[in-house]
Amino acid sequence: PTSALIPRATPATWLGVMGGGQLGRMFVHAAQAMGYKVAVLEPVADSPAAHAADHHLVARYDDAAALQELAAQCVAVTTEFENVPAASLALLAQRATVAPSAANVSVAQDRMVEKKFFIDCAERSGVLPAPHLLIAADQDIAINADLIAATLLPGIVKTVRLGYDGKGQVRVRTLEDVSSAFAGMQGVPCVLEKMLPLAYEVSVLAARGADGTSVVYPIAENVHRDGILFTTTVPGPHVSPECALRAHDAALAIIEQLGYVGVLCIEFFILDDGSLVVNEMAPRPHNSGHYTIDACMTSQFAQQVRAMAGLALGDVRQHSPAVMLNLLGDLWFDTASGACTEPAWDRVLALPGATLHLYGKDDPRPSRKMGHVTFVASTLAEAQDSLHAACAILR
């Protein structure tokens, strides 16, 4: 329904992105490779995307004057993080194409709104979120004590807004744990989710164009460590064809139900009994989609450019099996001495099929995403051999 409203942005015009992190940086690179100029709005002067951008608006995400300037300069604007104020996207939309829309982004900003959307969509998508309960005040725990004890424990208390990489989450076993976890969140609304027996985790990148065409990338299998993505493997060694089909169909149903334009990532849990549960979605390219840069016909970032610019979507086929390894700041520090040294990239790059992506961040810190390396090969086993060799080098 939106297609007629979206002006076609052909290369040599300007595109805009809200946010200056690594996702913004890789978006800038993809857009520039297609001939676009890119403006980044980001308050931090020294940020990964700003270094690469053609223009950097140093301003808060809700700075009305800067938003006006961005919308005037750019034919289309996107976001690289889900917590951009929805009101800012709405303001930009008065003058420029905004993809994804403020309405779509705001669904993904609030875990309760997101879960309600997933439930409303379940008949079409075939997937439900984990059993859960909103905890907005202490009495929500008291009133629902029996329900919680019977159906939601052990569980996880998550802040409804602003959580990422496992931050804003506490695992709980008892009602007392729930109370103290909620108290520790400074009174912000939380959701208590039942802890599910995960066999493994997968994510699906989907994209929908301005003309309503949708595409779905191959299903990615993800391993997390301490709540942060560690590796993504595609094809996933544990993903059965039936499971891949169900996740594919669910992603398609969800992106169409949203009337979304752009790249969307949806995370799923596969339980021990083989059933599929929808976890959360990110209204943007995603860490688990970085493999597409080196292993697919169209990267998730080039796809975002195409979608927001009203162009035809690119081919999502994967040409090589791939493994992506996240490079966290911990790798820069010697575990014994604590000394900070650059990892041996020369040795990593000498491994078969390796492509290194560093985000231009100057100060490594533990848990900070500094870059990633992708290994592609003609077989998954060879790509995994390179991964294991890289882990031995980087240890």
Site string for ligand ADP, 76-115 (x = CB under 6 A): ----------------------------------------
Which residue's C-beta sits nearest to ligand ADP?
Answer: 196
Using CB under 6 A as the binding rule, whether residue 199 contacts ligand ADP is answered as no
Backbone φ and ψ of 254, nearest 5°: -65, -45
> For ligand ADP, which residue of 44, 64, 145, 198 counts as binding (CB under 6 A)?
198
Question: Could you tell me the sign of the dihedral formed by the alpha carbons of 84, 87, 93, 96, in that order?
Answer: negative
Q: CA angle at residue 126 from 123 to 132, to 5 degrees? A: 90
Helix-helix angle 300-308:22-33, to 10 degrees: 70
- Which one of 28-36, 46-54, 188-196, 379-387 is the stretch in contact with ligand ADP (CB under 6 A)? 188-196
- 3-state SS, residue 207: strand
Query: Distance between CA 26 and CA 31 in Å, rounded?
Result: 9
Check the annotation: does 193 bind a ligand.
yes
Check the annotation: does 116 bind a ligand.
no
- Between residue 141 and residue 160, which ones bind ligand ADP under the rule CB under 6 A? 156
> For ligand ADP, which residue of 11, 43, 85, 166 counts as binding (CB under 6 A)?
166
Comparing CA positions, the residue from 216, 331, 300, 210 lying closest to residue 23 is: 300
Using CB under 6 A as the binding rule, whether residue 162 contacts ligand ADP is answered as no
Query: Distance between CA 254 and CA 234 in Å, rounded?
Result: 22
Q: How many residues does the chain have?
A: 395
Using CB under 6 A as the binding rule, whether residue 38 contacts ligand ADP is answered as no
Check the annotation: does 361 bind a ligand.
no
Query: Distance between CA 129 and CA 278 in Å, rounded?
Result: 5
> For ligand ADP, which residue of 55, 95, 161, 224 counts as binding (CB under 6 A)?
224
Smallest distance from the beta carbon of 84 to ligand ADP, in angstroms? 16
Token couple for 216? 């779905």
Helix-helix angle 111-120:241-258, to 10 degrees: 110
- Between residue 57 and residue 76, which ones bind ligand ADP under the rule CB under 6 A? none
Smallest distance from the beta carbon of 226 to ligand ADP, in angstroms? 10
> For ligand ADP, which residue of 54, 103, 119, 164 counts as binding (CB under 6 A)?
164
Using CB under 6 A as the binding rule, whether residue 161 contacts ligand ADP is answered as no
Query: Distance between CA 171 and CA 75 in Å, rounded?
Result: 44
> For ligand ADP, which residue of 82, 114, 267, 294 counts as binding (CB under 6 A)?
267
Query: Distance between CA 305 and CA 284 in Å, rounded?
Result: 11
- Among residues 143 and 198, whose Cβ is nearest to ligand ADP? 198
Q: Give whole-number Cα distances, 289 to 3, 78, 239, in Å.
A: 26, 17, 16
Check the annotation: does 167 bind a ligand.
yes
Query: Distance between CA 88 and CA 102 in Å, rounded?
Result: 8
- Between residue 280 and residue 319, which ones bind ligand ADP under the rule CB under 6 A? 280
- Among residues 36 and 269, whose Cβ is nearest to ligand ADP? 269
Check the annotation: does 242 bind a ligand.
no
- Among residues 34 and 153, whose Cβ is nearest to ligand ADP? 153
Question: Could you tell me the sign of the dihedral formed by the alpha carbons of 158, 104, 303, 315, in that order?
Answer: positive
Query: Distance between CA 75 and CA 5 in Å, rounded?
Result: 12
Binding residues vs ligand ADP (CB under 6 A) = 130, 156, 163-166, 193-196, 198, 201, 224, 227, 267, 279-280
Task: List binding-site positions for ATP.
Answer: 111, 158, 163-169, 193-196, 201, 224, 279-280
Query: Residues marked as binding?
Result: 111, 158, 163-169, 193-196, 201, 224, 279-280
